[in-house]
Structure 1
Amino acid sequence: MTKEFLHFVIMMGAAKTVCLVGIFLALSLCCSSPIAHGQLTDPQEVAALLAVRSNLNDPYKHLNWTKKYDPCTSNWTGVICFLNNTDGYMHVQELRLLKMNLSGKLAPELGQLPFMKRLDFLWNHISGSIPKEIGNITALELLLLSGNQLSGPLPDELGYLPNLTKFQLDLNMISGPIPRSFANLAKVQHFHMNNNKFSGQIPPEISTLPLLKHFLLDNNNLSGYLPPELSQMPKLTILQLDNNNFSGSVIPDSYGNFSNLLKLSLTNCSLQGKMPDLSGIRGLLYLDLGMNQLTGEITSKRLSENITTIVLSHNKLNGSIPSNFSGFSRLQKLYLDDNLLSGFVPSNIWENINFTSETRLDINFAGNLLSDISGILNIPSNVTLKLNGNPVCANSIQHNISLLCGPYNGTQEALNSLNKPESTCPPQSCPIKNYFEYVPTLPDACFCAAPFGVGIRLRSPSISNFPPYREDFDAWITSNVHAKPNIPLYLYQLSVDSIKWEPGPRLRMFLLFFPEYTNDSNAFDPSEVRAIADTFATFTIPGDDTFGPYDLLNFTAQGPYSDILLPSLSRSSGLSKGALAASIIGSLICASAILVCTLIFFRKLRQRSQAEVVGNQLVPKVPMKMDGVKAFSFENLQLATNNFSVNAQIGQGGYGKVYRGTLADGIDVAIKRAQQGSIQGDKQFYTEIEMLSRVHHRNLVSLVGYCDDEDEQILVYEFMPNGSLHDLLSARYRAPLNFGTRLHIALGAARGILYLHTEADPPIIHRDIKANNILLDAKWTAKVSDFGISRLAPVSDAKGVTTAHVSTNVKGTPGYVDPEYFLTHKLTEKSDVYSLGIVFLELLTGMQPISHGRNIVREVNTACHSGMMFSIIDRSMGPHPSDCVKELMALALRCCLDETKDRPTMLEVVRELENISSMLPEPESTALELNLNTSSSGNSVRSAPSSSLYDRRSTYVSMDLPGGDLVSGVIPPIKPR
């Protein structure tokens, strides 16, 4: 020891010396342990893994990665290796980190794992961009990054992975174009990149990929045209591009020449022109071209006789319903609603279907010009036919078809049902506490066993109703999943425990696998569990035409399987008993030394604190770092707002003041600065960032960034130049707001909330839907804002069972709060439905939710019951279609029913709004009057920004508007309301 160190020990005193000696002994024992001398993994890969670990946050301590142990021989969690006989090292073959609640970023050092074949970070919270260095992993076959918060563009380098077969990036926030370099992925079979922010043109070069089977890019921001060259892809079976914006593009005629296409889904893509003849696609099972602007007649001469689904809704197709829409023995859904079809309702559609108790046919011809129904009165009970909105329904009583002309409710409940065999086994005979249960698929034998659960989701099935295909599905899974080498499972070993249709449409299901029925064991052994898990995690189940590709969502390993899939160092096969004993002894000494030091430290700290005056009891703020959202310095935002000048201030609320600012790159933003020292504001600050960093939708306000300096909490949003719906309805001087525009705003807000309820993962209940929190961008698109008091909705457990509500204190804005939530403190998604119903009533009446002691729901109900509904309609709406107003009023009042169970779901709300929108006359449905009308003298109309992020003190946005009213001629000069 040096003199300086001896002097230090003497000064520390006896107790601290004991502490230091204990630490030295512990470290010496740990370092001399045999654990330190058995490293077999390539040292470069060990260093790379440690770098990957340092970039990850692991709140649930799933990762046992530590430099004391060798990754491959000590069973690091999720690290799967192989021995390379050439260099004698073990190398990483797979990183399997499925659904471990990991956050942080992907480290560039991943590119230093050159032998890795499978990279799996599915269903975590990883943010940031995808490192270009992943393009160096030439052995990579599966790139699985779905369900994270990744952002930024795709690196071109990923297009040079010579062995990549599956490219799975869906449900992230990845933006920018699809790199043209992806045309080099000669072995790729799956492009699963839906639900991102991809933009720009689909590269025509993609058509040269020789093995691509599944091209899923739905729910992005793609534009341009549909490349005709895609039809040249020899292996393509699924083309799914729904909910993009190919405005003005047509469906190429060449798409009728796909040689192997099974599914073509292009709904809501802004496509125009005539429907191409698709009779050349002989194997087509699923066709969805709905919600476009297709015109002309339905020209397909003859579709595949095995087709299950035909959706051509919400277009402008005319002519008659083709007589050849018959003879489809597997048909489950035929939707031609909201077109201009005329003539007869054909009676032979279901003639060739062999109906069973599980077979259903759902037909929707609503909203057309059909006038004759001869021959369709003998409809089988398995068929649902809807004709509402056709001329034939005007005499529904005379034709005895009133049931066919009522409101359309669909058959979603029936499609979600799953018949299960009734058990005749004695109750309470299985040890339920150990997660054992009777095998439900063995009705003749009461075999009690422990199931292993697997959650999957069929990404793009070619069916619309699952029960008729249950036997085919069971056979497909059991014949390809092996618990023992080369031995498939018996059919009774699989139970489909639950199914649920989700947006897409995609089919989520929970599978239970049971051990073989013998007298020896009622549980799988560990190797069998791993074999089943490996089959799903490595995606080795071959594709199926009917069921398509699948997502792996989770494994449920309970009871006897609880420790099998998450290895711990204590049972590592790479450690000898002596090494393990030395490790335990060393750990105990280390723990003892740390405990002594901790006790001494806290004793000294307590003595010191007792001598000080107790100060403020508030917990000091800790600087925050939130991945996926830009962090601004306070100085940046000072510059953007001219030092938070009064002239820049555009609003103020309970949270703080709101300013309009311009960032260094010229982008206008709204900057919300919290009041200092506000506990409530502090909580809302973190909630807002947490929520908005995880969701993205065109009808939700985007969070640009935040500032979390020592004394400042500031949120930065996209600027919404046309303010809030509240100010639009209440501004003293404003342009008339026609019904079409009001409906457009209502539908946008509803779609944003529907996304929160059904597509956010986990789902979100907003809890403060109101006109102030519905903002309008430059194109009058409605966007929901202010997530400061939002709550996560109840999520399904392992078997898909969901709690009905969240118990919480009542929060929200008076007049918008769900009365049942107010009384019971039980928050549900229907609470948002109630609040949105109030917004609909405001849109229709111009009234405030509560004014001078009057409640808007009570006032509207009174007027409607007395036959005076139109007396309370906002006069500034101008001429309006009465049928559409009645429909919207009825929907609004159903949303505001006192009983939660009686209100519609958000999906039903959106569907009804879309149906009302399709009923509008052409001028109403296409004109946004705010953007098109003013007096002939060229006056400008000014709109007030929102009082949620803005208020009326803002510098209004001035727009020069051309004259001419599309409904009733030139609008006179605007008068005060």
Structure 2
Amino acid sequence: MGNLGGILHAVILLLLCAGCVDVARGQTTDPTEVNALKAIRNSLIDPSNKLKNWGRGDPCTSLWTGIFCDKIPSDSYLHIVEIQLFKMNLSGTLAPEVGLLSQLKTLDFMWNNLTGNIPKEVGNITMLKLITLNGNQLSGSLPDEIGYLVNLNRLQIDENKISGPIPKSFANLTSIKHFHMNNNSLSGQIPSELSKLPSLLHLLVDNNNLSGPLPPKLAEAQSLEILQADNNNFSGSSIPAEYSNIRTLLKLSLRNCSLQGAVPDMSGIPKFGYLDVSWNQLKGSIPTNRLASTITTIDLSHNFLDGTIPPNFSGLPNLQLLSVNGNLLNGSVPPTIWSNITFTGNRTLILDFQNNSLDTIPAAFEPPEAVTLLLYGNPVCTTSNAARAANLCQPKSVIGEPSGEGRQVNTLCPPCPTDKNYEYNPASPIPCLCAVPLGVGFRLKSPGIFDFLPYKETFEINLTSLLELRVYQLYIERFMRETGPRLNTHLKLFPNNTPLFNTAEVVRLRQVLAGWQITLSDVFGPYELLNFTLGSYADEFPTVVSSGLKRSALAGILVGTIVAAVAVSVVSTVFIMKKRRKHRTVSRRSLLSRFSIKVDGVKCFTFEEMAGATSDFNISAQVGQGGYGKVYKGTLVDGTAVAIKRAHEDSLQGSKEFCTEIELLSRLHHRNLVSLVGYCDEEDEQMLVYEFMPNGTLRDHLSAKTERPLTFGRRVHIALGAAKGILYLHTEANPPIYHRDVKASNILLDSKFVAKVADFGLSRLAPVPDVEGTLPAHISTVVKGTPGYLDPEYFLTHKLTERSDVYSLGVVLLELLTGMRPIQHGKNIVREVNMAYQSGDISRIIDSRMPSYPPECVTRFLSLAIKCCRDETEARPYMADIVRELETIRGMLPEGEDALSETTGSGLLTKTMSSSSTPTGALYVSSHMSGSGQVDSGIPSGTVAPR
């Protein structure tokens, strides 16, 4: 009987497999696309073995990870319609064969470590709707061919290292709604041709190297809702008045763009909600027309605005933040801004009027408890009104990092089972129900609000409605403001009063979120998916969630008999089990990474490529030498000029600085930081490859050998660029970074004398909050740096803070003003300058090679440098204060003494500074400044300074 059962079982299996073969013969993937996928796989590096099933069987019917297929009418083949390889820890490059996937609609490689260029062949895939390559290490320029993709809805290439201009061909993308190109190294102007795009909603180009005037023609865009271009350099440009006519505009963010002119009058835009033009050089008065009632955020801080605070800010029911900090406003503190706001729940209002010239408080003046009014740095805090204003005159930063956590679970509930990661849903209507949630990292990329807390409930209702969930199924575990500003949230999605989601629901939720099938309310702006954590569900359906057939194709394949369907299931199960067993064997053979950090974020060059770029390291290509090794000018095969820093044999020991530089620079993008192009790491060679800086180091131009000495205006320009680069490290980098080796030979100058901070081999990550949320005030570390630039308190206590960099930059400022070295002939620059300052005779220390300068600007510059170099850490300004003061000094320069002038400006005073013209008491530093050193050798022009 047992033998008969075995025979029957074998016959059934044969019949089932026969049915399976029939189905497979009728529905296979287009061979051209199969070969394309194999080429794509060969160009990828897969250390986590996520693509272990690629190359076995048919891509569509064997469920290759991340591959989704569909049936095309009148075609016997299945076709690849989606590649979803979101956060798979992949590196390598994107093969040009991707252009052979003619039916592809989604190309998703978000949050991996891909390098190299975006292949121009992508432009061949005319069916493409989504390109999401954000969060990689892609470089090179954007291919013009992308402009052929008339069906493209979304282009996300943010948080890469892409350079070059935005192609004008993008004006052909008539279906595009979302351009997310922020946090790259894009340069040139924003093409005015983008105004032709009829559906464009979001243009995010912040944190690039864009320049030139802002295009007025953007006002002709029919649907534009968000224009976010912070941290670019539109120097000399004003905000086009035409932008006031963009009727669809919801948010305009142009922070720190070197803009001039007037504040735009946005009162005619019916649903306008967010204006940030802070940290520019805007002048004139604030427009007095009433803004839309939808406005939540107005940030005009750190400009040169004058006049009074107008009454039109009163009666705005949704206002959360009004900041005019750091302007030249005068008159009375307005008494009625909160008059039309209902303060219920978590509703608050911040009014930041610090550092102006306000001198009066109204007689009847009682701000509600929910209103935070800041008046520090105004005359009203020191006059007869001071007593009434005392509680309002404490200095405070309002642009912090607001965050929050969800409600706590009921501590009376018994513990949940320990298997499958069960936990309580704090919002569930069923008390003590244990369930397994899905984890979702969800970031608002350009929110139209300053404070999320009052909108938290609205967000929950909005998102759950779009996801077709009940409100109590969503639990916001935490949220946090990030630089941008953006809002990072960690969500948990719980089953609807059951312990587990079913497979179909998990697949649906992931598809909806990863495919951008929902659109949040306007006030929340665009979102991005940071992760989708399956947790315990991954073991039960590891491949169904990440690959498969679209419904139309699945219907065609399953038209056959139930027997065939069961056969597919049986064979697939056996196949997967075999692969799992083999994977366990393969995992044991995986090579260990050579470094404990990832070094695949930038291009890896071979020794042969480096030798070819430098004519075999010919001495004629050598442009510098230091303790680390020699520096060569090289030319890559594509014609790019680079600086190649080659370590000598002794400095190869340990390689810590080599790794640190790659790790940090591969994720830092700012126009005032030197860009790392790549590295070479072979058995006996270590090289770092940087962008080439034609004008060498700042130290070169302060030496007596320089034929054309720097004008004072140019020195201010260089100081401001360096300060902005360090400010980015302290406040915008995530996590923040302390440079620890700021010095004149680590400040490089490009062809336009734009300063770029270099050499991150000694840098350290700033401290992060501990488990209780407390942020340590310093890092305890071994003292490293360059004599003459070292913070004395850091040297004595080994306590490194952000104001250690401030001290070092202060020494650089003194070098700029005096031309002296930090330590020369036994004399210390800080001591020498302080002695001259205390004697009232500073003329003897001013660089005699500087042709002319305005004394009032030099006085202010010197006082800033001295304050940076104070021994006591707390007495030094913060880097943001330094940037602000340098911006002010630049704004004071007479016409003709612009930062880029090669000749002596007209109408300048010659050097007549003496003890009588600059008494000790005349030195001035802004009252709101409070915020922190290393022997170098001169290096010839056109180098990256070696260590």
Q: Identify the match of residue 783 of structure 1 among 740, 756, 759.
A: 756
Among candidates 481, 495, 503, match of residue 526 of structure 1: 503
1:257-276 aligned at under 5 Å gives the runs 257-276=245-264
The aligned counterpart of 1:701 is: 674
1:914 paired to 2:883: yes
Report the Cα distance in structure 2 between the residues aligned to 1:243 and 1:569, rounded to whole angstroms.
37
Tell me: CA distance 1:835–1:89, structure 2 relative to 1, closer, same or farther (3 Å): same
Aligned pair partner of 1:64 in 52, 55, 62:
52
Is residue 2:812 matched to residue 1:837? Answer: no
Task: Choose from 609, 622, 643 the match for 1:633.
Answer: 609
In structure 2, give the amino acid aligned to 1:58: D
| SS at structure 2 position matched to 1:324 | helix
Report the secondary structure of 1:400's partner residue: helix
Distance 1:731 1:592, change over 3 A: closer
Q: Report which stretch shifted further, 738-747 or 183-192.
A: 738-747
* AA matched with 2:324: L
1:197 maps to which residue?
A: 185
Report the equivalent of 2:513. Answer: 536
The corresponding residue for 2:311 is 323
Deviation at 1:478, TM superposition (A): 0.6
Q: Which residue of 1 aligns with 2:103?
A: 115
Q: Cα gap change, 1:205/1:777 in structure 2, threshold over 3 Å: closer, same or farther? A: closer
Q: Which of 584, 598, 619 is the equivalent residue of 1:644?
A: 619
Paired letter, 1:531: R
1:510 equivalent in alignment to 2:498: no
Q: How far did 1:536 drift?
A: 0.8
Of 522, 529, 539, which residue of structure 2 is paired with 1:545? 522
Matched-pair contact (CA < 8 Å) for 2:604–2:680: no
CA contact (8 A) 1:668 1:718 kept: yes
1:340 corresponds to 2:328: yes
SS of residue paired to 2:630: strand
- Give the equivalent residue in structure 2 for 1:752: 725
Question: Matches of 2:882 and 2:753 in 1, distance apart?
Answer: 17
8 A Cα contact 1:629 1:704, kept in partner: no
Contact 1:633 1:709 in 2 (8 A): no
**Is the 1:370–1:392 Cα contact (8 Å) retained in structure 2?**
yes
Name the counterpart of 2:930: none
Q: Which residue of 1 aligns with 2:74?
A: 86
Secondary structure, in 3 states, of the residue corresponding to 2:472? helix
The structural deviation recorded for 1:918 is: 5.0
5 Å-filtered alignment, 1:314-463, equals: 314-375=302-363, 377-395=365-383, 398=386, 400-410=388-398, 412-413=400-401, 416-418=402-404, 420-426=406-412, 429-431=415-417, 434-442=420-428, 445-463=431-449
Letter of the structure 1 residue corresponding to residue 884 of structure 2: N
Work out the CA distance in 2 between the residues paired with 1:42 and 1:308. Answer: 53
1:29 corresponds to: none
Number of the residue aligned with 2:846: 876
Report what 2:785 is aligned to: 813
The alpha-carbon distance between structure 1 residues 542 and 812, as it changes in their structure 2 partners (threshold 3 A), is same
Q: Which residue of 1 aligns with 2:481?
A: 501
**Alignment partner, residue 968 of structure 1:** none
Q: Structure 1 residues 526, 739: CA separation in 2 closer, same or farther (over 3 Å shift)?
A: farther
- What is the correspondence of 1:165-180 to structure 2 with a 5 Å cutoff? 165-180=153-168
**Cα deviation, residue 780, structure 1:** 4.9
Give 3-state SS (helix, strand or coil) of 1:672's partner: strand
Shift of 1:781: 3.8
Matches within 5 A, 1:601-620: none
Alpha-carbon deviations, 1:180-231, whole Å to 9, x = none? Answer: 3222222211111122233333333322222211122222233333333322
Match of 2:489, SS? strand
**2:531 matched residue in structure 1:** 554
Matched residue type, 1:522: P
Partners in 1 of 2:688 and 2:490 — Cα distance?
A: 40
TM-score, length-scaled by structure 1: 0.76
How far 1:285 moved relative to its partner?
0.6
Equivalent-residue separation in structure 1 for 2:779 and 2:80 (angstroms)? 46
Amino acid at match of 1:401: A
Shift of 1:423: 3.5
2:277 to 289, 293, 296: 289
The separation in 2 between residues aligned to 1:36 and 1:789, in whole angstroms, is 64
The one-letter code of the counterpart of 1:876 is I
The letter of the residue matching 2:49 is: K
Deviates further, 541-550 or 266-275 = 266-275
User: Structure 2 vs 1, CA of residues 717 and 336 (structure 1 numbering), >3 Å: closer, same or farther?
Assistant: same
Q: CA deviation at 1:100?
A: 1.5
> Contact between 1:122 and 1:148, CA under 8 Å: does it hold in 2?
yes
Q: For structure 1, which segment, 924-933 or 102-111, has the greater mean C-alpha deviation from structure 2 after superposition?
A: 924-933
- How far apart, in 2, do the equivalents of 1:553 and 1:663 lie? 35
Residue 164 in 1 paired to residue 136 in 2? Answer: no
Letter paired with 2:533: T
Equivalent residue letter for 1:170: D
Q: Distance in 2 between matches of 1:157 and 1:886?
A: 53
Q: Secondary structure at the match of 2:475?
A: strand
Q: Greater RCO between the two (CA within 8 Å, min separation 6)? A: 2
| Separation of aligned partners in 1, 2:583 and 2:635 | 55
Structure 2 distance, partners of 1:500, 1:257, is: 34
The DSSP-based 3-state class of the residue aligned with 2:653 is helix
Percentage identity across paired residues of the two chains: 47
Deviations along 1:699-734, one digit per CA (max 9) or x if unpaired, are 212335555677554434344466556677897999
Q: For 1:761 and 1:448, how far apart are their aligned partners in 2? A: 35
Deviation at 1:546, TM superposition (A): 0.7
Matched residue of 1:153: which SS?
Answer: coil
* Residue type of the alignment partner of 1:450: V
**1:715 is the counterpart of 2:701:** no
Q: Residues 63 and 167 (structure 1 numbering): CA distance in 2 closer, same or farther, change over 3 Å?
A: same
Distance in 2 between the 1:470 and 1:579 partners?
44
Post-superposition offset of 1:769: 4.6
Partner of 2:627: 654
SS of residue matched to 1:425: coil
Give the letter aligned to residue 180 of structure 2: H
SS in 1 for 2:331: strand
d(CA) in 1 for partners of 2:479, 2:302: 28
Q: Deviation of residue 356 (structure 1)?
A: 2.7
What is the deviation of 1:549?
Answer: 0.6
Provide closer, same or farther for how the CA distance between residues 710 and 257 of structure 1 changes in structure 2, counting only shifts above 3 A: same
2:602 and 2:679 in contact (8 A); partners too: no
Q: Which of these residues, 58, 74, 92, is aligned with residue 104 of structure 1?
A: 92
Q: CA deviation at 1:579?
A: 7.1
Per-residue deviation, residues 239-275 of structure 1 (Å, max 9, x unmatched): 2222333333333333222222111222333333333
In 2, are the aligned partners of 1:64 and 1:569 still within 8 Å (CA)?
no
Residue 58 and residue 524 in structure 1: after superposition, are their counterparts in 2 closer, same or farther (change >3 A)? same
- 1:396–1:402 Cα contact (<8 Å) kept: no
Question: Relative to 1, partners in 2 of residues 1:930 and 1:730: Cα closer, same or farther, differing over 3 Å?
Answer: farther
| Structure 1, gaps ≥5 residues long | 1-31, 482-487, 599-618, 898-902, 940-946, 958-977
Say if 1:149 and 1:173, in contact at 8 Å, map to a contact too. yes
TM-score (norm 2): 0.78
Taking a change above 3 Å as real, the CA distance of residues 82 and 593 of structure 1, as seen in their structure-2 partners, is: closer
**SS where residue 442 of structure 2 aligns?**
strand
Tell me how far 1:752 sits from its aligned partner. 2.7
RMSD between aligned alpha carbons? 5.0
Correspondence for 2:455 among 466, 469, 479: 469
